[in-house]
A and B are shown apart, each in its own frame.
Chain A
Amino acid sequence: MLKILTTLAVLLGFSTTAVADYTFIVPQKPGGGTSVWAQIVATEMEKYLDEKIVIKHIRGARDIPGFNKFHNELQNDPKTIMVSHGGNGVSFLNEKVDYNYADYESVGLMNLNIIVASRKDHNPYGANKTAFAAGSGMIPEGIAMTLLKCGSGLTTEQYIDCFKRKVNWVKGMSGGERRLAFKRGELNGTRENPAAFKKHVQPTIDKGVAGLWFHHGILQADGTHADDPNYPGYQMEKLFYAANRTAPEGDLYAAYKLVKSFRDGMQKALWVGKNNPNKAKLIAALKQVATNPESAGAVEKKVGKYQWLIGEAGDAHRDTLMKLITPEALSTLVRFNNEAFGIKAVYKDTLLAQK
Chain B
Amino acid sequence: MIEMIAALIGGVLYGLLIGIIPAAGATTGLVALFGVISYFAHEPYLGVVFLMAVVAASTTGDSFTAILLGIPGANSAAATMVDGFPLAQQGRASYAISAAVTTSTVNGLLWGCLVFLLLPWYTSLLMVLGIPELWAFTVLALATVGFVSTRFWFRSLCAIALGIFLGMVGVDPNTNEPRYTLGWFYLEDSIQIMPVVAGLFAIPELVNGLLTKSRTATIVKSEVLEGMRVVWQNRWLGLRGGFIGAFIGLLPGLGGAMADWMAYGSAVAANPKERFGNGNIKGVIGPEGANNAQKATSMIPTVLFGIPGASFAAVLMSLFMYLNFELGTPDIALDTEFFTSMTFGFLGATILVAFLCIFLIKPISYITSVPYKYYFPVLLTLIVWTAMQYTGGWEDLAMLAIFSALGFFCKYYKFSRPALLIGFILSDKIEKLSIQMLALYDVDSLITRPIFLILVLCILGIFTYSFIKKGKIDYA
Q: Which of A36, A302, A343 contacts B176 (CB 8 A)?
A: A343
Q: Are B305 and A4 in contact (CB under 8 A)?
A: no
**Is the CB–CB distance between B43 and A301 below 8 Å?**
no
Is the beta-carbon distance between B185 and A60 smaller than 8 angstroms?
yes
Can you name the residue of chain A whose Cβ is closest to the Cβ of B32? A15
Number of chain A residues whose Cβ lies closer than 8 Å to a Cβ of chain B: 56
Q: Which of B57-65, B66-74, B83-91, B124-132 contacts A (4 or more CB under 8 A)?
A: B124-132
Q: Does B390 contact A (CB under 8 A)?
A: yes
Q: Smallest distance from the beta carbon of B285 to chain A beta carbons, Å?
A: 32
Chain B positions 365-420 with a Cβ under 8 Å from a chain A Cβ: 390-391
Q: How far is the CB of A5 from chain B (nearest CB, A)?
A: 5
Q: A35-B318, A199-B306 are in contact. Are A15 and B35 (CB under 8 A)?
A: yes
Q: Judging by beta carbons under 8 Å apart, are B6 and A5 in contact? A: yes
Of the 9-residue stretches B144-152, B203-211, B231-239, B322-330, which lies at the interface with chain A? B322-330
Contact indicator per residue, chain B 436-462, by CB within 8 Å of chain A (1) or not (0):
100110000000000000000000000
Query: Contacts A60-B185, A186-B440 given: A180-B307 contact, CB under 8 Å?
Result: yes
Distance of A343 Cα from B188 Cα, bound (Å): 14
The answer to whether A170 and B32 touch across the interface, beta carbons within 8 angstroms, is: no
Given A61-B171, A61-B189, A199-B329, residue A1 in contact with residue B307 (CB < 8 A): no
Query: Judging by beta carbons under 8 Å apart, are A170 and B328 in contact?
Result: no
The minimal Cβ–Cβ distance linking B92 to chain A, given in whole angstroms, is 34
User: Does A126 make an interface contact (CB < 8 A)?
Assistant: no
Q: Is the CB of B36 within 8 A of A176?
A: no
User: What is the CA–CA distance of A145 and B20 in the complex, to the nearest angstrom?
Assistant: 51
Contact with A along B316-352 (1 / 0, CB 8 A): 0110011010101110000000000000000000000
Instruction: Name which of B46, B189, B435 has the most chain A CB atoms within 10 A of its CB.
Output: B189
Separation of A200 and B307 alpha carbons in the complex (Å):
9
Residue of A nearest to B330 (CB): A203
Which residues between 97 and 142 of chain A lie within 8 Å of chain B, taking CB atoms? 131, 136
- Given A12-B32, A172-B173, A172-B436, decide whether A200 and B306 contact each other with a Cβ distance below 8 A: yes
A window 45-93: CB within 8 A of B: 54-55, 58-62, 65
Query: Which residues of the partner chain B approach A186 to less than 8 Å between Cβ atoms?
Result: 130-131, 440
- Interface contact A200-B328, CB-CB below 8 Å: yes
Docked-complex contact A199 and B328, CB < 8 angstroms? yes
| Shortest beta-carbon distance from A133 to chain B in Å | 9
Chain A's closest residue to B252 (CB) is A176
Q: How many residues of B contact A (CB 8 A)?
A: 59
B121 proximal to A (CB < 8 A): no
User: Min CB distance, B78 to chain A, in Å?
Assistant: 23
Query: Any chain A CB within 8 A of the CB of B31?
Result: yes
Q: Is A323 an interface residue (CB 8 A)?
A: no
Distance in Å: Cβ of A106 to nearest Cβ of chain B: 25
Q: Is A229 an interface residue (CB 8 A)?
A: no
- A7: Cβ under 8 A from any B Cβ: yes
| Interchain CB contact under 8 A, A172 and B432 | yes
Q: Mark A161-194, 1 if CB is under 8 A from B, else 0.
A: 0000000111111101101110110110000000
Contacts of B32 in A (CB 8 A): 12, 15-16
Say yes or no for A295: interface residue by CB 8 A criterion: no
Knowing A8-B36, A15-B35, A176-B253, say if A168 contacts B10 (CB, 8 Å).
Answer: no
Residue with the greatest number of chain B CB neighbours at <10 A, chosen from A15, A32, A43, A341? A15
Inter-chain contact B6/A170, CB cutoff 8 Å? no
Interface digits, B169-188 against A, CB 8 Å rule (1 contact, 0 not)? 01101111100000001101
In the bound complex, residues from chain B placing their C-beta under 8 Å from that of A2 are 6
Q: B436 near A173 (CB under 8 angstroms)?
A: yes
Contacts of B3 in A (CB 8 A): 1
In the complex, chain B residues whose CB is within 8 Å of the CB of A181:
130-131, 436, 440
Give 1 or 0 for each of B7-51: 1 = CB within 8 Å of chain A CB.
100100010000000000000000111111011110100100000
Indicate the member of A15, A16, A131, A172 with the most B CB atoms within 10 Å: A172
Please state if A39 and B176 are interface contacts (CB–CB under 8 Å): no
**Contact A8–B39 (Cβ < 8 Å):** yes
Nearest residue, chain B, Cβ from A96: B185
What are 11 contact pairs spanning A and B, CB under 8 A? Answer: A1-B7, A4-B46, A5-B6, A12-B32, A15-B32, A18-B35, A62-B189, A176-B307, A180-B307, A184-B130, A199-B329
Known contacts A8-B39, A40-B322, then 14 further A-B pairs from the complex at CB < 8 Å, ordered by chain A residue: A11-B39, A30-B318, A31-B314, A39-B322, A43-B322, A171-B436, A172-B431, A172-B433, A177-B131, A177-B252, A180-B252, A199-B306, A301-B326, A343-B176
Q: Which 6 A-B pairs have the closest CB atoms?
A: A61-B188, A172-B432, A31-B318, A172-B173, A61-B189, A1-B3
